[in-house]
Amino acid sequence: MERHSRIFVAGHRGLVGGTIVRDLQQRGYTQLLTARRDELDLTRQASVDRWMAQQQPEYIFLAAAKVGGIYANNTYPADFIRDNLQIQTHIIDAAYRYGCSKLLFLGSSCIYPKFAPQPMPEDCLLTGALEPTNEWYAIAKIAGIKMCQAYRQQYGFDAICLMPTNLYGPGDNFHPQNSHVLPALLRRFQEAAESAAPTVVCWGTGEPRREFLYVEDLADACHFLMQSYSSPDIVNVGVGSDISIRELAALVGQTVGYKGAILWDSSKPDGTARKLMDVSRLKGLGWQAQTSLAEGLRRTHNWFLSHRQQEARL
């Protein structure tokens, strides 16, 4: 992938896609291709074909997806499986047919079984039942992996698959209901600090453990693997360590300066007990994450405050 290569970042308005675009710009890539939804509807094959024929991308980062936390997955299961199957199927197929040199597909740690060994190695895929609260999204992502592998096997198409752990960072979704756990907590604690609320109520027991990767580290890993990796084998992208949700809530509270008490609503679902990635394959390839959770949270909090202030001025 050269500095003048035609590079399509699908999903450039999302957390991951937007970060990949900024990362590539900072590295000096000059022909980055993006498209607004009114220009390119990824859920329609005809729209994707028309755009691919016109733009002829040489490299594709497939970061477009419908994403959300437990509430969103439980509430909109049909949307999650339909939209994600359509988006990835249309892009992968058109990428091959219109001569794309290489495609990077981004999956998720939720592809692994609910009771996968911890940390989760790549070869535990399809060895057990999925976590019910996000199986619709997970099944779509597994189909994307298998499609990439099938196109490599049958057509020799150079498609690689990365499985990021839980992501966070500037540009995240901070919606009070449809966001993932870390941005949801950050917003909740920030609002509690501003209103001097005596307590903050968090979902579940706080006992599940999660791994969190700063999104700028993921963008760096994507560039590294796009340049150096070509194999049907999927690659986990994470930090290799985790934290309990209870510990995370305390760290978020400390980051935003919240002084009140934290209460836990055990009537709400916890999700999978633990999701820690085995990142030995990635480390063996020569890459590891650089940003600590404390530092990443500080940067994300600053972005959130700045973003709210910008919106208030509009």
Active site residues: 137
Tell me: is residue 306 an annotated ligand-binding position: no
Tell me: is residue 203 an annotated ligand-binding position: yes
**CA distance linking residue 163 with residue 279, whole number of Å:** 10
CA dihedral 287, 292, 296, 297 (to 10 degrees): 150
Tell me: is residue 257 an annotated ligand-binding position: no
DSSP assignment string, 58-126:
SEEEE-------HHHHHH-HHHHHHHHHHHHHHHHHHHHHTT-SEEEEE--GGGS-TT--SSB-GGGTT
Tell me: is residue 210 an annotated ligand-binding position: yes
Tell me: is residue 13 an annotated ligand-binding position: yes
Tell me: is residue 167 an annotated ligand-binding position: yes
**CA distance linking residue 28 with residue 124, whole number of Å:** 38
Helix (H) or strand (E) holding 199: strand 199-203
**CA distance linking residue 288 with residue 307, whole number of Å:** 29
Tell me: is residue 18 an annotated ligand-binding position: no
Tell me: is residue 181 an annotated ligand-binding position: no
Tell me: is residue 14 an annotated ligand-binding position: yes
Tell me: is residue 15 an annotated ligand-binding position: yes
Tell me: is residue 141 an annotated ligand-binding position: yes
- CA 228 to chain CA centroid, Å, is 21
Residues 6+ apart with CB under 8 A from 252: 182, 185, 186, 189, 258, 297
Tell me: is residue 292 an annotated ligand-binding position: no
R_g of the chain computed on alpha carbons: 19
Tell me: is residue 12 an annotated ligand-binding position: yes
**CA distance linking residue 20 with residue 64, whole number of Å:** 12
Answer whether 73's CB lies under 8 Å from 137's CB.
yes
Give residue for tokens 């590891």: 288
Tell me: is residue 158 an annotated ligand-binding position: no
Tell me: is residue 109 an annotated ligand-binding position: yes
Binding-site residue positions: 11-17, 106-109, 141, 164-167, 180, 188, 203, 210, 270
Binding-site residue positions for NADP(+): 11-17, 106-109, 141, 164-167, 180
Binding-site residue positions for substrate: 188, 203, 210, 270
